[in-house]
Amino acid sequence: MEPVIGIVGGSGLYGVDGLTGAEWRAVETPWGAPSDALLHGTLDGTRMVFLPRHGRGHVHTPSTVPYRANLAAMKAAGVTHLVSVSAVGSFREEMAPGHLVIVDQFVDRTVARAASFFDTGLVAHVSMAHPVCAALAAACARAGRAAGATVHEGGTYLAMEGPQFSSVAESRLYRSWGCDVIGMTNLPEARLAREAELHYATVAMVTDYDAWHDGHDAVAVSDVIATLKANVATAAALVAALPAEVGGACETGCATALDHAIMTAPDARDSAMVERLRPIAGRLL
């Protein structure tokens, strides 16, 4: 099956240039409307679907992004490979503003977000030991280098609730835990992508050094925005390079993540939940 590439654009990335047959399509899901309409098109012969995570004009906070609707909309659109492009702060001197980090692990410090499609009446537990698709992550790294970026392969993403930036104490604590970058949006996104059996990867675009760094103990929004604007060109070039890179064999089990995850016995499943979850887990329901 040919891959269909989905792009979730973070702060500063609100579209994809160069799509053939580009069309914005508004959709609804069992979890409501996604952040915005989905931009469909073709790039170098590969189908692509783009969704601005915060909506065009940046109307959603990290806590109010409709994550379940976003992922359900991507799944319903036929997306097989989902790339999250996200702005982050860095806990590592060598991961400098303007660099890209291809994340492979997450630490969740969010507190106010629904983190699963499943609920009472239909229970499932997926493995998050390896939360990104290794093959897709490698493809993103190659695309990033083709775009001329400095790319770091591997890194732990600390997801904080926000919308405020970290205190110095928090920043130092997260750095001491071994986290590499910090952001506000990739969880529960990565969890939901695993439940939806999508190949998922995060391209983290570093905008600042967070509060731990001497001389950077107050993250200035103006500086973040300036770096974001500079990163947009890199992100666009990376997206343009993806069709040539995506499609390698997956050894992470992304497409079969639900095989042994559903716990509720068939005769005990809530019928309304079954119908609600068909777009996500219809392969097994």
Task: List Cα–Cα distances, 191 to 5, 117, 128, in angstroms.
Answer: 18, 9, 7
C-alpha dihedral, 183 to 184 to 187 to 193, nearest 10°: -80
Instruction: Pick the catalytic residue from 104, 108, 180, 208.
Output: 208
CB atoms within 10 A of CB 15: 14
Alpha helices, DSSP H only, in 178-270? Answer: 186-195, 221-241
Residue whose C-alpha is closest to residue 107's, from 136, 128, 87 = 128
Q: Identify the DSSP state of 262.
A: B
Residue whose C-alpha is closest to residue 126's, from 269, 266, 256 = 256
Cα–Cα distance between 155 and 207 in angstroms, integer? 16
Q: Respond yes or no: is residue 17 known to be catalytic.
A: no
Cα–Cα distance between 204 and 128 in angstroms, integer? 19
Q: Respond yes or no: is residue 223 known to be catalytic.
A: no
How many helices (H) and strands (E) are present in the chain, helices listed first? 6, 11
**Per-residue b or e along 26-46, where b marks 16 or more CB atoms closer than 10 Å to that residue's CB:** ebebbbeebbbbbbbbebeeb
Cα–Cα distance between 90 and 153 in angstroms, integer? 14
Partnered with residue 146 across adjacent β-strands are none
Partnered with residue 160 across adjacent β-strands are 109
> Which tokens in the block code for residue 59?
């109307």
Cα–Cα distance between 273 and 30 in angstroms, integer? 10
Instruction: Pick the catalytic residue from 210, 217, 223, 267.
Output: 210
Active site members: 208, 210
